[in-house]
């Protein structure tokens, strides 16, 4: 197990160092969240306090899923994924490595945005450790979502397009800009099925003084359940696709 | 000698297409074993199945005693594979690629850089160690891909079409490296569609056509399959295709092969056919430049065993998309 984690870390380290400058990652994983933040900030500099949790969640979503799309599809296209399949690694180690790389990249971008927004808006962090765990669980869940989408396609652009089918509706359904409670029925049902809802809710607890719709512990547990579910599903599909394609 | 590789009744279907058809063979420790066949014969499928990249439809392979279908991770620890496309990471440097492979194969931390630098020196890549893989020439990429396959001191090295697409000098250099690896005790399994390459490198050859092995033996023994045949080679100033039909109709001539300005006649009655052949050529107005008798080559044996024209073996497979230059 220790050896597996070590090798996953090597995969993640290589992915982080290799892919952070790829154009699709810069446009979708870095520029889009930053543009969102600036667009809201310049419209009403002091009025975006309420949407800061949503903007941080959105940043995490876009940066993690974009990196995940790159690390699988790009390597599949150039044949480099085969190198991992040739090494003495099992599917779980490879998937863990790819997930970790995407999560670390997403966390770096989201932390950067958070470190700008929190002092700028005069916010403070409550429930510090829960705040950290929300970042980690959300990053893992979003990366796995990206991987789940990208294992099924061949090209990077296909993975990005497919990801947008999930990402754009999430912007409106997960309480990023307006609360889930104010949405007409049946939209809240969809909201409860998406991980970003619990990221935003948890961040609202930490940054806006317990303004979440469900308890913070429940947000964390649901996000953890998403991580476990998405990892199992991704592993199953990853194995199946690789056996079909190779 | 102990078997380094044992393949038993291996079969692979891709949908309705049978790529590999019940093949069995073994490879002894320390030998270079070659799979020789035209493109599409099933060579790459066999290699991919043997290293655990592809699941066999039936049968199995034991690599260093490990069943590839049951212990794929153990098999991967024992082997190094050089795929047909040099597929290292384009953005990483030569040294970076080797260190990353060392990490993945569990080479101890202290040894990773030492081993990588040692391989770069051995493969003549030291001066390119800081160059990204994508900036290397095709020949250097191939060398680095082989070096990467050796990073963890494997017992068995698999090479899929090692010299395809390389210029003459690079291919020659690479063959030397392969022979040096054998001297160090490595068992090597390679696939090729170049008959002279198989003859130069391999201790034993399996000729594979349409997924089936036609013969397994040493190059000398395979050539002995056509021992009874003699070859008369005549060099001409110019050649026309019409001549082939005419010459084939001569009594005692079994096969006529035309190669640029040379004609090769395969016959079992050399004494009886030489004069009629020369006479026929002169009657057609051809000017004879040279006459030689030759021993049968591996190419002749291949033609006899498979029934295929050896021209088929000179066709390169189109290169797949990948980080090749």
> What does the block give as tokens for B132?
């990204």
pLDDT of the residue at B154 = 93
B68 touches chain A (CB under 8 A): no
| Distance between CA atoms of residues B188 and A8, nearest Å | 30
Residues of chain A with pLDDT under 50: none
- Euclidean distance between CA atoms B46 and B50, whole angstroms: 6
Question: For B276-292, how does the pLDDT look when each residue is reduced to its tens digit (9 = 90+)?
Answer: 888 888 887 778 888 98
ipTM of this predicted structure: 0.84
Task: Encode pLDDT of A37-48 as tens digits.
Answer: 888 878 777 778
Nearest to A27 by CA among A60, A55, A67: A67
Instruction: Give me the CATH topology for the region B228-295.
Output: Alpha-Beta Plaits (3.30.70)
CB B2 within 8 A of CB B28: yes
* Element holding B175 (H helix, E strand): helix B168-183
Structure tokens at A31: 């520029």
Query: Which chain A residues have a beta carbon less than 8 Å from that of B322?
Result: 78-79
- C-alpha to C-alpha distances, B159 to A157, B6, B11, B80, B189, nearest whole angstrom: 33, 17, 20, 9, 6
Question: CB contact, 8 Å: B88 with chain A?
Answer: yes
| 3 state DSSP class of A179 | coil
Q: Give pLDDT, residue B99.
A: 96
Class of domain B3-223: alpha beta
Distance of alpha carbon B273 from alpha carbon B285, whole angstroms: 19
Q: Which helix (H) or strand (E) holds A155?
A: none
Q: Which residues of A touch B87 (CB under 8 A)?
A: 78-80, 82-83
Distance CA A228, CA A146 (A): 15
Q: What is the pLDDT of residue B241?
A: 67
Residue B325 has pLDDT above 50, yes or no: no
Q: Between A3, A83, A87, which is nearest B87 by CB? A: A83
Measured between beta carbons, the chain A residues lying within 8 angstroms of B321 are 77-79
Residues of chain A in contact with residue B320, where contact means CB-CB under 8 angstroms, are 79
Place of tokens 């469900």: A214
* DSSP letter for each residue of B69-115: TT-HHHHHHHEEEE-SS--S-TTSBHHHHHHHHHHHTT--HHHHHHH
Q: Do A79 and B87 touch (CB under 8 A)?
A: yes
pLDDT tens-digit readout, B158-191: 999 888 877 888 888 889 889 988 998 899 999 9
pLDDT digits 0-9 by tens, A35-75: 888 888 787 777 788 888 998 999 999 999 988 888 888 88
The pLDDT assigned to B317 comes to 59
pTM: predicted TM-score of the whole model, two decimal places: 0.80
Nearest CA in chain B to A86: B76
B49 — contact with chain A (CB < 8 Å)? no
* pLDDT of the residue at B322: 42
Instruction: Compute the distance between CA of residue A158 and CA of residue A153 in angstroms, rounded to an integer.
Output: 6
**Is A168 in the B-facing interface, judged by CB distances under 8 Å?**
no
CB contact under 8 A, B104 and A3: no
Would you kindly state where each structural domain of chain B is located, as residue ranges? 3-223, 228-295
pLDDT averaged over every residue in chain B: 86
The answer to whether the Cβ–Cβ distance between B73 and A90 falls below 8 Å is: yes
Give residue-wise pLDDT tens across range B188-216.
Answer: 999 998 888 899 899 999 999 889 999 99
Q: Does A84 touch chain B (CB under 8 A)?
A: yes
- Which positions in chain B touch A86 (Cβ < 8 Å)? 51, 53, 76, 81, 83
Q: In this complex, is the C-beta atom of B319 within 8 Å of any C-beta atom belonging to chain A? A: no
Sheet (strand B262-267) strand order:
B253-259, B262-267, B230-236, B288-294
What span, in angstroms and rounded, lies between the C-alpha atoms of B39 and B317?
6
Specify the pLDDT at position B318.
56
B87 and A85 within 8 Å at the Cβ level: the answer is: no
């Amino acid at each position: 197990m220790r050896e597996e984690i070590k090798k996953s870390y090597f995969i993640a380290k290589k992915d982080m160092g290799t892919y952070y400058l790829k154009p699709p990652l810069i446009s979708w994983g870095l520029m889009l969240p930053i543009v969102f933040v600036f667009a809201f900030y310049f419209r009403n500099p002091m009025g975006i306090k309420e949407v800061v949790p949503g903007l941080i969640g959105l940043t995490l979503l876009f940066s993690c899923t974009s990196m995940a799309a790159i690390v699988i599809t790009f390597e599949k296209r150039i044949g480099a994924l085969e190198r991992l399949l040739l090494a003495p690694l099992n599917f779980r180690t490879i998937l863990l490595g790819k997930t970790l790389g995407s999560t670390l990249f997403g966390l770096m971008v989201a932390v950067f945005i958070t470190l700008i927004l929190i002092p700028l808006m005069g916010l403070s962090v409550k429930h510090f450790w829960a705040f950290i765990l929300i970042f980690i669980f959300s990053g893992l869940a979003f990366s796995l979502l990206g991987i789940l989408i990208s294992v099924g396609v061949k090209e990077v652009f296909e993975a990005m397009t497919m990801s947008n089918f999930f990402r754009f509706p999430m912007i409106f359904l997960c309480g990023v800009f307006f609360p889930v409670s104010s949405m007409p029925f049946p939209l809240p049902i969809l909201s409860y099925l998406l991980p970003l809802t619990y990221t935003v809710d948890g961040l609202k607890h930490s940054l806006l003084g317990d303004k979440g719709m469900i308890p913070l512990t429940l947000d964390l547990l649901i996000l953890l359940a998403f991580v476990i579910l998405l990892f199992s599903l991704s592993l199953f599909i990853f194995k199946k696709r690789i056996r079909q394609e190779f | 000698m102990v078997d380094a590789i044992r393949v038993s009744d291996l079969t692979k279907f891709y949908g309705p297409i049978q790529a590999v058809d019940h093949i069995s063979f073994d490879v002894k420790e320390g030998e270079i074993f070659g799979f020789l066949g035209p493109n599409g014969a099933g060579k790459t499928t066999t290699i991919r199945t043997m290293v655990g990249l592809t699941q066999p439809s039936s049968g199995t392979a034991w690599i260093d005693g490990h069943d590839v279908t049951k212990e794929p991770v153990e098999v991967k620890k024992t082997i190094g594979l050089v795929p047909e496309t040099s597929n290292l990471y384009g953005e990483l440097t030569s040294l970076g690629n080797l260190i990353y492979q060392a990490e993945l194969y569990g080479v101890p931390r202290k040894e990773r850089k030492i081993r990588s630098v040692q391989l770069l020196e051995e493969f003549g890549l030291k001066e390119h160690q800081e160059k990204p893989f994508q900036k290397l020439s095709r020949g250097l990429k191939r060398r680095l891909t082989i070096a990467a396959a050796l990073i963890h001191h494997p017992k068995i090295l698999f090479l899929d079409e090692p010299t395809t697409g390389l210029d003459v000098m690079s291919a020659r250099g690479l063959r030397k490296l392969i022979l040096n690896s054998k001297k160090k005790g490595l068992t090597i399994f390679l696939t090729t569609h170049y008959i002279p390459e198989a003859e130069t490198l391999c201790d034993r050859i399996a000729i594979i056509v349409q997924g089936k092995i036609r013969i397994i033996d040493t190059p000398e023994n395979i050539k002995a399959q056509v021992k009874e045949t003699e070859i008369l080679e005549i060099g001409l100033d110019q050649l026309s295709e019409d001549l082939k039909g005419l010459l084939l109709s001569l009594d005692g001539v079994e096969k006529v092969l035309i190669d640029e300005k040379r004609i090769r006649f395969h016959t079992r009655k050399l004494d009886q056919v030489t004069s009629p052949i020369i006479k026929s050529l002169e009657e057609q107005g051809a000017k004879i430049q040279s006459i030689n008798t030759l021993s049968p080559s591996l190419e002749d044996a291949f033609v006899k065993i498979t029934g295929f024209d050896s021209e088929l073996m000179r066709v390169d497979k189109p290169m797949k998309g990948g980080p090749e230059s």
